[in-house]
Structure formats: C-alpha cells, structure tokens
Homo-oligomer: A and B are copies of this chain.
Amino acid sequence: MENDAVNELALKRNPSLVSLIYEKLENMILSGQLRSGDPVNERALSMQFEVSRAPIREACRRLEQAGLVSIIDNRGAFVREVSKTTATEVYDVARLLSSEAARHAVANVTDEEVRKLTAMVEHIERDANRDDLSSYYAHNDLFHLELVKLGRNDKLAELYRSLNNELTLYRQRGLRSFPDFERSLAAHRSIIEALARRDSAAYQQALDAHSTKMTERLLNLGV
C-alpha cells in the first residue's frame, strides 16, 4: 500500500514532481508519520520514490521555508522541533492575523459564504460525533482558515495558513490534548450565528474568545 507511491507519483504528473513530493512529505509530517527530529534523507527518499535526488532536495528546501524542517549544512534536513517558546510566538501572530481579519469580515461576508461556513461547522460536528479526530482537526483548521479569508486579504490569509501549519507540527510533537468538543462546537455555533446576524462586535468577540481558549489549552500541554 505504501510502495506504489511510485505509480501514484508517476501517474498524476504535471503538477510537477517537486510539488507532488512536497505535498507527500508535508502530509507525512503534518500527519505525524514523520516525527520531530526525524531525518529527511535525500537518497533514501529518492530511492523510495524512484526519482533522482534533485526534486527531493528542492522539496526539502520548500519544507524548510514552510517551517516544517530545519536544514543543517552538510547534515541534511530534520523534521523541525518546535519549542514551546516558538509555538507561543507563532500562536500570538496567528491570533493577531485572525483577529484583524475578523474586524473586516462582517462588512464583506456574503450569504453564500455563510452557508458554506455553516456546512463546514456541521461537517466538523459529524467528525466529532464519530470521534474521527484526524478529520476533525483537519476540517477545524480549514474552517478557521475560511474565516480568515473573509478579511479579504490574500496575503494575510496565506501567512495565517503557513503559521497554522507550523502549529500543527507543534501539536503533533507529543501527547495531544483531547479536544473539548462540547465547548468548541458551541463556540463555532455562536461565531457563525454572529456572522449571519452581521453583528461585527459579537463576531469578533466570539472568535477571539474561542482562539484564546484554544491557545491556552494547547500550550498548557507540554508544560
């Protein structure tokens, strides 16, 4: 099931080898298949994927820019270890961006978007009810990214996405807190509700409260 990754890559093609390899590796890291500190060996991967080292190497450099691996000169790439200090910094910036986006969201949001977001919330609730944690986390992240996009600033949204990836890596590093479903889902509901009412103050307040709560929970884990 894993050694036909070759064909996977060979067939899809055109999205460029590097992109495919990048996504594969990103996924392996964010899903926890590769853990913090693990080496990312160019030759080993080039044999595993049956391509030369060049595209692998390039993908690794992209992973570095994305903050997912650290590269040590002449030593190679290693899945990054995100310290609590760094994670705190990243959280702070992500919250700042999210909050800024929220300030502009209500003025721009369309009915269509409210419907889409509502659907996403419901999807997350289904994941929670089925205890499908991995899907829950993924869709939760997507939901929040979509909220940020309401700020109508592509650059800001892109930065947010990138920061959130780093945070996912941090969360992945060790024991993972079991989410407080009840509280979290309720928060989502009130966020969406305020948005539907076009109540900017309530929306910003609900979102900030939710973000702060999440941050606290996640940072108080590793102690």
Residues of chain A touching chain B, judged by Cβ–Cβ distance below 8 Å, are 16, 54, 57-58, 61-62, 65, 73, 86, 89-90, 92-93, 96-97, 100, 153-156, 159, 163
Contacts and interface: CB of A to CB of B under 8 A. Distances in A.
17 contacts: A16-B73, A57-B58, A58-B61, A62-B65, A65-B65, A86-B154, A89-B153, A89-B154, A89-B155, A89-B156, A92-B153, A92-B156, A93-B97, A93-B159, A96-B96, A96-B100, A159-B159
A16 B86 CA distance: 26
Label chain A's interface by main secondary structure: helix
Copies of this chain present:
2
Contacts of A89: 153-156
A89 B149 CA distance: 13
Q: Which 4 A-B pairs have the closest CB atoms?
A: A65-B65, A89-B155, A89-B153, A93-B156
A78 to B, nearest CB: 17
B155 A86 contact: yes
B65 A155 contact: no
A89 B61 CA distance: 26
A15 B97 CA distance: 34
Given A16-B73, A159-B159, A93 B153 contact: yes
A200 to B, nearest CB: 18
Nearest to A104: B92
A71 B54 CA distance: 17
Contact of A93 (B73, B90, B155): B155
